[in-house]
Amino acid sequence: MPTPYDEMWEKLNLDLPAHEGLLQVLGKFYGDIYLSQEGRLKGMEYLDFVLSEVHGLRIQELQEAKARGRKVIGTFCIFVPEELVLAADAIHVGLCAGADIGKEAAEKILPRNTCALIKSFVGFKLARLCPFMESCDLVVGETTCDGKKKAYEIFANYAPVYVMEIPQMKNACDWDLWKAEIQRFREEIEAVTGRKITAPKLREAIRLVNRRRRVLQRLNKLRAAVPTPISGRDVLLINQISFYDDPTRFTDKMEILCDELEDRVKAGQGIVPHKTPRLLLSGCPMAVPNWKLPYLVESSGAVIVGEESCIGTRNTRDLVDEGGESLKDMLDFIVDRYMKIDCACFTPNAERVEHIVDLARELRVDGVIHYALSFCQPYAMEAFKVEKALQNAEIPMMSLETDYSLEDVGQLKTRVEAFVEMLR
Ligand code: BJ8
């Protein structure tokens, strides 16, 4: 069916028939997983609209901004400091890598035993299905896990790629390395955009990104109520959309949604009955449109009340100190804030385990599901330490490994149902 965006998609060199198929599948999943929920907040209508226009209006906005001279910078990791991108008047988009639609193409140039997230971003590019990726003037990679690090070498044959080196430990020399990397990134962004990052611009960007983090913190505090006023699926969607929507508009809309949530909490209204088992999801990021596990969990009689993940609290927990006067101070505060990220790529990474136990207690969860993508060694390895710490805290945990395919849905559902039953 023709759409008002066909010409734009054609200019972006998308594979139009395959792209139409993708949007149809996405629409069907969205209807089943999201729109079928009862008692959703009025504020979620904005998110439904943004998602329905995911490859339409937002891409049009990006093209219009590009026509006015702004650059679009795509990223795959929360280590990339968005503040520097915004301070150079560029647009930052977190690229999605949550579907296995280009898997076959990806497996021709990557080992099959690569995690689904990596295969997904390579597959989207090879299959010409992502208008965000095709809008990017630069894609920023990072040396987090080995899979990503090596995949960017291959990906660079198909897109303009810049790679940031991420430290693997948190000693003084790692701080120095990260500081140098932030400086190198600043120079790269200035070169790509042709704009200088000045102190007033960086201050404005720090405040803007902090404001978005704060509203998501507010949301997470509100959902800690018993009974929880919003489904985990909806919060995951909010977090996913936060990566590519306009940050000011998104934050304004989320303030309104939080006001509505506050009313619900005051009135003691929950999205599920009082005794519904409350779960924390912990582990690998769930990029759009990876909704498989949250849907399985919430259709098995439990509710998700927290995500210890990069598309969750790992991205919103820490703010950049806003007290920096000079550009140097501000850059130092950015260095400090990003070094607090507790990705499993770090060693020894004890703080992640502590954060999980603290979060589980704060959210009054009945159990934790640790989620690792198949072939993701950093998170699969850490699952053992996490389980031990949760055992000591007397919080039950189940560890799952899966990918983006639907082949294991039956098996996963059986395991999730058994876990939820055990928690009752
Ligand atoms: S800061 S979690 S976004 S690296 S799932 S590709 S780790 S094999 S995504 Fe991540 Fe940044 Fe860390 Fe967050 Fe590798 Fe694991 Fe795949 Fe992963």
Q: Which two tokens stand for residue 218?
A: 């507010």
Burial level of 322, CB count in 10 A (0-12/13-18/19+)? exposed
**Per-residue pLDDT at 1:** 76
Out of 95, 118, 145, mutate this one to test ligand 1's pocket (max ligand atoms within 8 Å of CB): namely: 145
Torsion sign across C-alpha atoms 110, 82, 351, 295: negative
Q: Whose CA is nearest to atom 14 of ligand 1?
A: 145
Distance of CA 389 from the midpoint of ligand 1 (Å): 22
**Per-residue pLDDT at 12:** 98
| Domain carrying residue 45 | 6-199
CA distance 90 to 100: 29
> Is the CB of residue 343 below 6 angstroms from any atom belonging to ligand 1?
yes
**Per-residue pLDDT at 145:** 97
> Is the CB of residue 115 below 6 angstroms from any atom belonging to ligand 1?
yes
| Residue 110 resides in a domain | yes
**Per-residue pLDDT at 295:** 97
Q: Whose CA is nearest to atom 7 of ligand 1?
A: 145
Distance of CA 203 from the midpoint of ligand 1 (Å): 29
**Per-residue pLDDT at 288:** 94
| Residue 101 resides in a domain | yes
Please state the atom number of ligand 1 nearest to the C-alpha of residue 314: 13
> Is the CB of residue 44 below 6 angstroms from any atom belonging to ligand 1?
no
Beta pairing partners, 398: 369
| Residue 408 resides in a domain | no
Distance of CA 285 from the midpoint of ligand 1 (Å): 7
Q: Whose CA is nearest to atom 2 of ligand 1?
A: 343
| Residue 53 resides in a domain | yes
Q: Which two tokens stand for residue 210?
A: 């902090």
Report the chain (424 residues): mean pLDDT per 10 consecutive residues.
93 96 94 96 98 96 98 98 98 94 95 97 96 98 98 98 98 98 98 98 98 98 98 98 98 98 98 97 97 98 98 98 98 98 98 98 98 98 98 98 97 98 97
DSSP label of 272: S
Q: Which two tokens stand for residue 268?
A: 């003691």
Q: Whose CA is nearest to atom 10 of ligand 1?
A: 77
Distance of CA 144 from the midpoint of ligand 1 (Å): 7
| Residue 42 resides in a domain | yes
**Per-residue pLDDT at 213:** 98
Residue 69 contacts residue 192 (beta carbons within 8 Å)? no
Distance of CA 398 from the midpoint of ligand 1 (Å): 20
CA distance 164 to 182: 8
- Give the chain's domain count: 1
Residue 140 contacts residue 162 (beta carbons within 8 Å)? yes
Q: Whose CA is nearest to atom 13 of ligand 1?
A: 310
If you write DSSP's letter for every residue of 304-355 in order, what string do you get? EEEEESTTTHHHHS----TT--SHHHHHHHHHHHHHT---TTSSS-HHHHHH
> Is the CB of residue 283 below 6 angstroms from any atom belonging to ligand 1?
no
Q: Whose CA is nearest to atom 12 of ligand 1?
A: 343
135: domain CATH number? 3.40.50.11890
**Per-residue pLDDT at 219:** 98
| Residue 30 resides in a domain | yes
Residue 265 contacts residue 326 (beta carbons within 8 Å)? no
Of the candidates 94, 109, 13, 28, the residue with the CA atom closest to the CA atom of residue 58: 94
Please state the atom number of ligand 1 nearest to the C-alpha of residue 284: 5
Please state the atom number of ligand 1 nearest to the C-alpha of residue 145: 14
Please state the atom number of ligand 1 nearest to the C-alpha of residue 146: 14
**Per-residue pLDDT at 2:** 84
User: In 91-232, where do the E strands start and end?
Assistant: 91-94, 138-142, 161-164
| Residue 247 resides in a domain | no
Out of 308, 311, 373, mutate this one to test ligand 1's pocket (max ligand atoms within 8 Å of CB): namely: 373
pTM more than 0.85: yes
| Residue 236 resides in a domain | no
